[in-house]
């Protein structure tokens, strides 16, 4: 009896491993979009090494090593920030980091999504959704969710487009 049960379990295990999985979501009909996206139908996944570069840059910002953080940027980098401000050039970004981040702490930083895409124009973008809590000098805490897109020229960031959603932290 034990041998029969053991053989049944082995056969069931083998069958479950060889059955192809059904797709959980299939596209059954083509959708005609009103606006044709330029990247959606023609991008490839990029290098995970670019994601690592962005994560390293964030780590330097959090640790207040702004000179090291801007070493990841091209000299003519452009930052389009969530408040509508545009920063042009590495020195401008460095000055901004020193002024904006020196008096605050970034806590509970985490990344929800990060991946790299390359479009037909060969520009490689790191797309990141991240979260953190900013603590001001007076102890006020604000949680933020950011959505950022970083364009690369070689191994340096040449453009950042940032969106943010602040949420008052509850304790």
pLDDT digit string, tens, across residues 34-83: 877 666 667 788 889 999 999 999 999 999 999 999 999 999 999 999 99
Q: Give the integer Cα–Cα distance in Å for 66 and 101.
A: 9
pLDDT tens for residues 135-146?
A: 999 999 999 999
29 assigned to some structural domain: no
Residue 27 — pLDDT band, cuts 50, 70, 90?
A: low
Segments forming the whole domain that contains residue 96 = 44-168
Strand partners for 78: 88, 159
Tally of structural domains, the chain: 1
98 assigned to some structural domain: yes
- Name, of 21-30, 63-72, 112-121, the range with top average pLDDT: 63-72
18 assigned to some structural domain: no
Q: Are strands 73-80 and 44-45 parallel, antiparallel or unpaired?
A: unpaired
23 assigned to some structural domain: no
Q: Please give the C-alpha separations between residue 107 and each of 70, 86, 144, in angstroms, as whole numbers.
A: 21, 25, 11
Backbone CA torsion sign across 119, 125, 130, 135? negative
Phi, psi of 123 (to 5 degrees): -80, 130
Q: Which residues touch 43 (CB under 8 Å, ≥6 apart)?
A: 117, 118, 119, 120
26 assigned to some structural domain: no
Q: What's the whole-model pTM score? A: 0.76
Q: Where are the alpha helices (DSSP H) in 36-121?
A: 48-62, 66-70, 90-101
Q: Please give the C-alpha separations between residue 62 and each of 22, 25, 27, 170, in angstroms, as whole numbers.
A: 43, 39, 42, 22
Q: What pLDDT shows up at residue 61?
A: 96
The CATH number that applies at residue 89 is 3.10.450.50
91 assigned to some structural domain: yes
């Amino acid at each position: 009896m034990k041998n029969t049960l053991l053989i049944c379990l082995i056969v069931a295990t083998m069958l479950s491993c060889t059955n192809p999985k059904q797709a959980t979501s299939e596209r059954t009909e083509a959708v005609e979009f009103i606006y044709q996206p330029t990247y959606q139908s023609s991008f490839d996944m990029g290098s995970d090494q670019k994601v690592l570069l962005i994560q390293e840059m964030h780590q330097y910002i959090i640790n207040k090593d702004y000179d090291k953080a801007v070493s990841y940027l091209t000299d003519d980098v452009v930052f389009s920030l969530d408040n509508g401000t545009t920063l042009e050039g590495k020195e401008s970004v460095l000055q901004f980091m020193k002024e904006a981040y020196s008096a605050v702490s970034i806590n509970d930083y985490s990344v929800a999504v990060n991946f790299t895409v390359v479009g037909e124009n060969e520009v490689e973008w790191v797309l990141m959704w991240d979260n953190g809590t900013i603590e001001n000098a007076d102890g006020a805490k604000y949680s933020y969710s950011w959505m950022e897109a970083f364009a690369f020229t070689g191994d340096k960031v040449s453009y950042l487009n940032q969106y943010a959603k602040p949420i008052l932290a509850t304790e």
